[in-house]
């Protein structure tokens, strides 16, 4: 009586039979291991050892027999537990566990992938996203409502950064320009937060949503800005990133033409052209309190440019990666954190950058990373759709949940932190056309560590 097409029904039955065979094989393997454990424990008991408790998989053996026999018993126990965990890990009960990561809001409205996102540094605090659909959008963080659209670019918008004190945004684009534009937004009334949470567990086995497009026809009836306050035009290739220098009177841009440019905001004049990279630039970042700039490139290096002395503009080249350096960012302290397509993230000390002080090795290429200002936690967006959190010493803290209800469907391109309020929010965006906001329970996260 099934209404499914015969081909689809047969395919489902075949898949279910494969699952049943896998569970049957694991069940038989577990039975054999249990028999070996029982047999070994009988031998150990005959040699004078005693077992605490009735369950041999949990009891601690008081060793009186040979050291090699004890090692064999422990190895069998470990194998038994590892085998059974293949079954039970898929059915972990999350009810009642502490919510280390809570889904705050999904921001859906772009018509193409989102390359970059940023949070304003002034009131009102809003989220900005930069997309391949040639637009940048401003969002209400609490409600997920689109507040404003910037449509001044003729190409993909590759990055967005906000002025440190004024309501101005800086966007970089594939149309070979960077734009500075003003915005005015009014926040809507907040709504109750959704009751959707899950533990940040790196061992959690979550089912993935099917690949597909995000529903949504884009923001409608929202104010649109179409004209920039200033247009920066000196590049001969795609402008992939841009950022404000401390104070907001100058900006730096990074381009596929292998150069970074420094501009005066008030006059839009080109002040310096920073050359030296052998291949296209991928990102640029400025220090929060000093006149320092770091640029990363496909040439496997990143460069530190020092503008603190007006008469001397020094540069240092760092060669710690073996593939494209996708981003390098400053922390509030004296550190630089770099991420790469070579699947590593490295933490550097500005006072001694001959070698990294920590190296994080991952299973996928790393895109535009971010570091929380207060807790100094590194958020890593991956090509394989994962987002992982590490501390500055390279210790893995957690992985953001990714299941059929939450998480990204495609490559995660960028992360950004917001720690202005009592809570700590992390925002992620990806090529599935959506941005996601997460509330991170930092005290519980560090306690889990």
pLDDT tens, position by position, 412-436: 999 999 987 556 999 999 999 999 9
Number of domains in the chain: 2
Better pLDDT: 448 or 188 = 188
Q: Single out the residue in 49, 66, 90 at which a domain terminates.
A: 90
C-alpha span between 122 and 144 (Å, rounded): 19
- Residue 74 binned pLDDT confidence (cut-offs 50, 70, 90): low
Residue 336 is assigned to a structural domain of this protein: yes
The answer on 434 and 330 residing in a single domain is yes
The answer on 196 and 80 residing in a single domain is no
Whether pLDDT at 47 is above 90:
no
Residue 32 is assigned to a structural domain of this protein: yes
Q: What is the CATH number of the domain that holds 115?
A: 2.130.10.10
Whether pLDDT at 216 is above 60:
no
Beta-strand runs (E) in 287-334: 292-297, 302-309, 312-318, 325-330
Per-residue tokens: 274: 């920073």
Whether pLDDT at 21 is above 90:
no
Tens-digit pLDDT profile for residues 104-144: 999 999 999 999 999 999 999 999 999 999 999 999 999 99
Q: What is the mean pLDDT of residues 392-420?
A: 90
Q: Residue-wise over 128-138: b if at least 16 C-beta within 10 A, else e?
A: bbbbbbbbbbb
The answer on 82 and 141 residing in a single domain is no
pTM: predicted TM-score of the whole model, two decimal places = 0.75
The answer on 141 and 79 residing in a single domain is no
The answer on 106 and 81 residing in a single domain is no
Q: Single out the residue in 90, 121, 141 at which a domain terminates.
A: 90
3-state secondary structure of 24: helix
Q: What residue numbers bound the domain in which 178 lies? A: 101-448
Residue 287 is assigned to a structural domain of this protein: yes
The answer on 316 and 245 residing in a single domain is yes
Whether pLDDT at 42 is above 60:
yes
Tens-digit pLDDT profile for residues 249-265: 999 999 999 999 999 99
The answer on 106 and 61 residing in a single domain is no
* DSSP result, 328-352: EEE-SSSEEEEEETTSEEEEEETTB
Q: What separation, in Å, do the N-terminal and C-terminal C-alpha atoms of the chain show?
A: 53
Q: Single out the residue in 55, 90, 125 at which a domain terminates.
A: 90
Provide, rounded to the nearest whole percent, the portion of the chain with pLDDT above 90.
Answer: 59
The answer on 161 and 75 residing in a single domain is no
The answer on 424 and 275 residing in a single domain is yes
The answer on 189 and 47 residing in a single domain is no
The answer on 262 and 183 residing in a single domain is yes
Residue 413 is assigned to a structural domain of this protein: yes
Residue 350 is assigned to a structural domain of this protein: yes
The answer on 146 and 17 residing in a single domain is no
**By 3-state DSSP, what share of the chain in percent is helix, strand and coil, each rounded to 5?**
15, 40, 45
Residue 360 is assigned to a structural domain of this protein: yes
Look up tokens 């497009």; give the residue.
213
Residue 96 is assigned to a structural domain of this protein: no
């Amino acid at each position: 009586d099934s209404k499914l097409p015969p081909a689809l029904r047969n395919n489902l039955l075949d898949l279910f039979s494969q699952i049943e065979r896998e569970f049957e094989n694991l069940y038989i393997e577990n039975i054999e291991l249990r028999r070996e454990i029982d047999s070994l424990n009988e031998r150990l008991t005959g040699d004078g050892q005693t077992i605490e408790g009735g369950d041999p998989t949990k009891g601690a053996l008081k060793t009186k027999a040979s050291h090699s026999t004890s090692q064999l018993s422990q190895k069998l126990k470990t194998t038994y537990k590892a085998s059974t965990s293949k079954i039970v890990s898929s059915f972990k009960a999350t009810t009642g566990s502490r919510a280390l990561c809570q889904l705050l809001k999904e921001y859906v409205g772009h018509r193409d992938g989102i390359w970059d996102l940023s949070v304003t540094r002034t009131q009102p605090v809003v989220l900005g996203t930069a997309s391949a659909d040639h637009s940048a959008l401003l969002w209400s963080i609490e409600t997920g409502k689109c507040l404003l659209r910037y449509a001044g670019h003729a190409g993909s918008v590759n990055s967005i950064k906000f002025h440190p004190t004024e309501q101005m945004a800086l966007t970089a684009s594939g149309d070979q320009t960077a734009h500075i534009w003003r915005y005015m937004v009014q926040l809507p009334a907040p709504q109750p937060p959704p009751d959707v949470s899950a533990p940040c567990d790196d061992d959690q086995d979550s089912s993935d949503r099917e690949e597909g497009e995000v529903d949504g026809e884009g923001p409608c009836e929202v104010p649109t800005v179409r004209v920039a306050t200033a247009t920066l035009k000196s590049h001969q290739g795609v402008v992939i990133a841009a950022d404000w220098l401390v104070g907001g009177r100058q900006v730096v841009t990074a381009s596929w033409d292998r150069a970074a440019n420094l501009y005066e905001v008030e006059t839009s004049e080109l002040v310096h052209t920073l050359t030296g990279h052998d291949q296209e630039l991928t990102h640029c970042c400025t220090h929060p309190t000093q006149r320092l700039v770091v640029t990363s490139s496909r040439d496997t290096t990143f460069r530190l440019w020092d503008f603190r002395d007006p008469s001397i503009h020094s540069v240092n080249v760092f060669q710690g990666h073996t593939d494209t350096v996708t981003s390098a960012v400053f922390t509030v302290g004296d550190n630089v954190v770099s991420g790469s397509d070579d699947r590593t993230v490295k933490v550097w000390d500005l006072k001694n950058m001959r070698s990294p002080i920590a190296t994080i090795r991952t299973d996928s290429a790393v895109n535009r990373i971010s570091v929380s200002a207060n807790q100094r936690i590194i958020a890593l967006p991956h090509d394989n759709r994962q987002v992982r959190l590490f501390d500055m010493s390279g210790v893995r803290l957690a992985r953001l949940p990714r299941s059929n209800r939450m998480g990204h469907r495609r490559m995660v391109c960028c992360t950004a932190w917001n720690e202005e309020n009592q809570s700590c929010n992390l925002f992620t965006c990806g090529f599935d056309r959506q941005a996601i906001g997460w509330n991170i329970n930092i005290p519980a996260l560090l306690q889990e560590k």
